[in-house]
Structure 1
Amino acid sequence: MLTEHDFASQKRRADVVARRLADRHTPLIRNAWYVAAKGDEITRRLMARTLLGVSVLLYRTEAGEPVALHNRCCHRSFPLSEGKLEGDTVVCRYHGLRYDAMGSCIAIPSQSQSPGKIGVRRYITMERGPLVWIWMGDPALSESTPLPHPEWLGHPDWDIEIGYVNVKGSYVHLHENLLDLSHLSFLHETTFGTPEYAAAPIETKIEGDDIQVWRHVPCVLPPLYAKPLGWEGMRAIRHSGSQFVSPGLHVNSGVFENLDLPKEQQSPPPMVKVAQIITPECQDRVHYYYAFCRNFVRGNPEVGAFMIKGFTAAFNEDVYALEKISDMHAQEDASQFYEIDIAADRAGLQMRRHLKTLADRETAEVSGVAPHFGKVPGAE
């Protein structure tokens, strides 16, 4: 049985590591591309969505271009989403101030003179495939930061299904969940996990901010994959990868190799890719889209419905776990508990260190204080 001395020693080690890692209290990173919404969610109807703790107004111009404005009238903070759209002009319902698509206030009904240079912030948006991305940080940095939209997302060679859930929890914990898939054998044992997954050797690849984890798992594929492929009961190798791409995007990949069928019957090899689209709503809530793409049994809506139903069930299990963790953090005094890292956490620790570095850098740019970037033990 552990003694109080053992617990104290563990806590000291955990505290040293934790200071260098992003957690649920780390300031949200603004100098990054995030998904504001699916393209078909943004219409000529004014829509409000909270992103990075800011209420954002989303709509389309008459020409079809997406617009994102701060959803807060510059006069008395009335939400512009409660107003109306006249042409490309947003009219505040409170005092009638009128805003163009650039966020400039162009008219104030209660005064005859020009309103001058007042208005609300307009955020940069880019529409790619089925998604509308938004930049909420320093506008000068947006052009030098590549849009992380995957080229296969929306490509005609891939069938796509998209789901959404609002998660009560930290986006840091969601990224960590997606990098360490050893939980598939337990949390997802009835959806797309298999018993062999947790113990399979882990290949971790870390090159700068590109963080990947791969496993090659001999198994009988779960029904979610085996049924559409017609591989039920057959031996296979599940090549499974997880990649941290950016604060707003994570990609999971699966390549399936049938050991009971000739190679020529598996060309091209069946693959799935899942864009895990992660946009913090605020410090403790996340807009979570999952875009599931496959290159097999394409053009079959029944297969698409079957697979997105299965993925939704599995991802709801992740949501269940993250919300239970969030509840524990809320219920107990953080100073009385600490978390221990294990071998499977190597990639997750590096990801959290990277997020902490980005957050510290942004904080330093605002405050003028140079950040200190430490090294995470065990994350080399």
Structure 2
Amino acid sequence: MSVPAQSERQRKLATVAAAAMANKDTPLIRNAWYVAARSDEISRNLMARQILGRSVLLFRREDGTPVALQNRCCHRSFPLEHGKLDGDVIQCGYHGFRYDCTGKCVAVPSQPQPPENIRLRRYRAVERKPFVWIWAGEHDAADECLLPQPEWLGSPDWDLYIGYLNIKGSYVHMHENLLDLSHLSFLHETTFGTPEYARAPIELTVAEPNFEVWRHVECVLPGIYAKPLGWEGQKALRSSGAQYVSPGLHVNTGFLKNLSVPEEQQQPQPTIKVAQLITPETQRSTHYYFAACRNFARNDPEIDAFMLKAQTTAFSEDLFAMEQIARMQALESREDYYEIDVAADRAGVSMRRYLKKLADAEAAPVA
């Protein structure tokens, strides 16, 4: 069957545009900070986590400092998570090779001295409660000044709750999804979305490395916000922002104003901030923490539980979308598969182009 000329032209244009954007096959960006785990997940018990396609061993030294090392013993690839800690020394559970916290092999039981060249890959790990971050590239190249955790995350001025989802899809598409406010009325119809949202004007900031989207909507708030505020059925101004910060962080902000209340009776503006912490597990799967802070309905465990449940439900809708998209991408042949972009995609497309530039620069040979 012949392909109509217009369709073939559209396919070619879309293919050229897509080649400049990061996608599920783009090499992962290692020279960046990513969340390895929540602070309370890492202890004196050895644990492993797949991060950017590598198995990473996580634990705390006796002084409480977090450590991140290659999880595979250099000898016969036994996972060190199944070994044991002796003070600050890891002992492999297979042949007893012992490694210090820098990854250096300090003992081989079957011979007097260990070979000098045996060393585990070491990662820079930095704790910024409530998270432990990891620099996924070379240890000595890590720059703590680039660690992107917002100062409000963990501040006593905000109430905080944290959720986690594992997504069987690319971190690139999750970043694009979070920078896309046009899907709220549809994918999140019963959680975040309201009908007015889809038609609201978009304010864009697109200037590498800053990609930001805002929408301002007058609407009856969805229950996730209306219930904690006691604004059920009341009209409000909802200002929502989405910002790409780094390969491992995206921030969403919401400002709320009750339009049913006279100006002089307005309370301090209710605000919610969500740190979306995105860590590639593999090329095709993603660790996704969301840490939400609010300045209203403070110190109320019931509201914490309600909002965590509601946001987990909403973000699970994103998970569903990402996994269904990944499924369709796997089903379609490369010749048949292409996507088109519309005006609302501008920020996401620009962000994906930027990620592609970062990945290409990292992969380029050193002169």
Report TM bin, short chain. Answer: over 0.9
Equivalent-residue separation in structure 1 for 2:122 and 2:3 (angstroms): 57
Equivalent-residue separation in structure 1 for 2:250 and 2:12 (angstroms): 32
Per the alignment, residue 305 of structure 2 pairs with 305
- Unaligned residue ranges in structure 2 (runs of 5+): none
Per the alignment, residue 139 of structure 1 pairs with 139
Per the alignment, residue 326 of structure 1 pairs with 326
Contact 1:32–1:145, Cα closer than 8 Å, also in 2: no
Summarize the Cα distance change of 1:365–1:263 in structure 2 as closer, same or farther, 3 Å threshold: farther
Per the alignment, residue 278 of structure 1 pairs with 278
Equivalent-residue separation in structure 2 for 1:104 and 1:140 (angstroms): 15
Equivalent-residue separation in structure 2 for 1:173 and 1:308 (angstroms): 23
Equivalent-residue separation in structure 1 for 2:113 and 2:290 (angstroms): 49
Deviation for aligned residue 1:116: 2.1
Q: Quick check: 132-141 or 81-90, which moved more?
A: 132-141
Per the alignment, residue 235 of structure 2 pairs with 235
Equivalent-residue separation in structure 2 for 1:144 and 1:222 (angstroms): 39
Equivalent-residue separation in structure 2 for 1:15 and 1:176 (angstroms): 18
Contact 2:123–2:138, Cα closer than 8 Å, also in 1: no
Contact 1:96–1:108, Cα closer than 8 Å, also in 2: yes
Deviation for aligned residue 1:335: 1.8
Summarize the Cα distance change of 1:144–1:301 in structure 2 as closer, same or farther, 3 Å threshold: closer
Specify the code of the residue in structure 1 equivalent to 2:341. D
Deviations along 1:190-230, whole A, 9 cap, x unmatched? 11110011110000012320110000011010011011101
RMSD (CA atoms) = 1.4
Specify the code of the residue in structure 2 equivalent to 1:298. R
Per the alignment, residue 249 of structure 1 pairs with 249
Specify the code of the residue in structure 1 equivalent to 2:24. R
Equivalent-residue separation in structure 1 for 2:87 and 2:18 (angstroms): 51
Per the alignment, residue 192 of structure 1 pairs with 192
Per the alignment, residue 377 of structure 1 pairs with none
Equivalent-residue separation in structure 1 for 2:246 and 2:302 (angstroms): 33
Per the alignment, residue 351 of structure 1 pairs with 351
Equivalent-residue separation in structure 1 for 2:184 and 2:258 (angstroms): 20
Per the alignment, residue 35 of structure 1 pairs with 35
Specify the code of the residue in structure 1 equivalent to 2:163. G
Deviation for aligned residue 1:164: 0.4
Equivalent-residue separation in structure 2 for 1:241 and 1:26 (angstroms): 27
Deviation for aligned residue 1:114: 4.1
Deviation for aligned residue 1:75: 1.0
The alignment of Structure 1 onto Structure 2 pairs a total of residues equal to 366
Deviation for aligned residue 1:15: 1.3
Contact 1:23–1:173, Cα closer than 8 Å, also in 2: yes
Deviation for aligned residue 1:139: 3.4
The SS at the match of 2:280 is: strand
Deviation for aligned residue 1:86: 1.0
Contact 1:220–1:236, Cα closer than 8 Å, also in 2: yes
Contact 2:277–2:289, Cα closer than 8 Å, also in 1: yes
Q: Quick check: 244-253 or 205-214, which moved more?
A: 205-214
- Unaligned residue ranges in structure 1 (runs of 5+): 369-380
Deviation for aligned residue 1:331: 1.4
Summarize the Cα distance change of 1:266–1:106 in structure 2 as closer, same or farther, 3 Å threshold: farther
The SS at the match of 1:24 is: coil
Specify the code of the residue in structure 2 equivalent to 1:245. V
Per the alignment, residue 360 of structure 2 pairs with 360
* Identical aligned residues as a percent: 61
Specify the code of the residue in structure 1 equivalent to 2:141. L
Deviation for aligned residue 1:258: 1.0
Equivalent-residue separation in structure 1 for 2:26 and 2:275 (angstroms): 24
Specify the code of the residue in structure 1 equivalent to 2:234. M
Deviation for aligned residue 1:267: 3.8
Per the alignment, residue 44 of structure 2 pairs with 44
Equivalent-residue separation in structure 2 for 1:17 and 1:295 (angstroms): 42
Equivalent-residue separation in structure 2 for 1:270 and 1:21 (angstroms): 37
Per the alignment, residue 175 of structure 2 pairs with 175
Per the alignment, residue 97 of structure 1 pairs with 97
Q: Quick check: 205-214 or 250-259, which moved more?
A: 205-214
Deviation for aligned residue 1:266: 3.2
Equivalent-residue separation in structure 2 for 1:165 and 1:326 (angstroms): 16
The SS at the match of 1:350 is: helix
Specify the code of the residue in structure 1 equivalent to 2:276. Q
Deviations along 1:251-278, whole A, 9 cap, x unmatched? 0000001111133443420000010000
Contact 2:105–2:114, Cα closer than 8 Å, also in 1: no
Per the alignment, residue 206 of structure 1 pairs with 206
Equivalent-residue separation in structure 2 for 1:207 and 1:268 (angstroms): 32
Per the alignment, residue 162 of structure 1 pairs with 162
